[in-house]
Structure 1
Amino acid sequence: MDVALSEETEQRLPLIAGGLSVALAQTFATVEPDRKNPGTAQWTVAFDIFHLLL
């Protein structure tokens, strides 16, 4: 991005990234509750869901 972010926004980026990571983990748990090590197919489904939401 060629956009200048405010200092406040830059400080919040780790929180946003952390929240997205937790949401991704919860998506795996919802889509494949018994899966311990998600494979390519599960990653694809999770990313497709995120693309729809974002």
Structure 2
Amino acid sequence: MLRIVFEYRDEYCSPKWNTQECVVRSIEECKRIYGLGVDCEYRIISVKKISS
């Protein structure tokens, strides 16, 4: 599992970046769950492998 910390902003919170954290199997899963890149800007801050 991966602990991913990312920031995102969209038309509702722009120009402020909001920070979010998730635990998922892959970066692609994180992007899909949170809709990253669909209607918002995002940047990955950190990715750490954690034991399951």
| TM-score bracket, shorter-length normalisation | under 0.3
Q: Which has the higher contact order (CA 8 A, sep 6+)?
A: 2
Bigger Rg, structure 1 or 2: 1
TM-score, normalised by the number of residues in structure 1: 0.26
Which has more strand, going by share of residues?
Answer: 2
Which has more helix, going by share of residues?
Answer: 1
TM-score, normalised by the number of residues in structure 2: 0.26
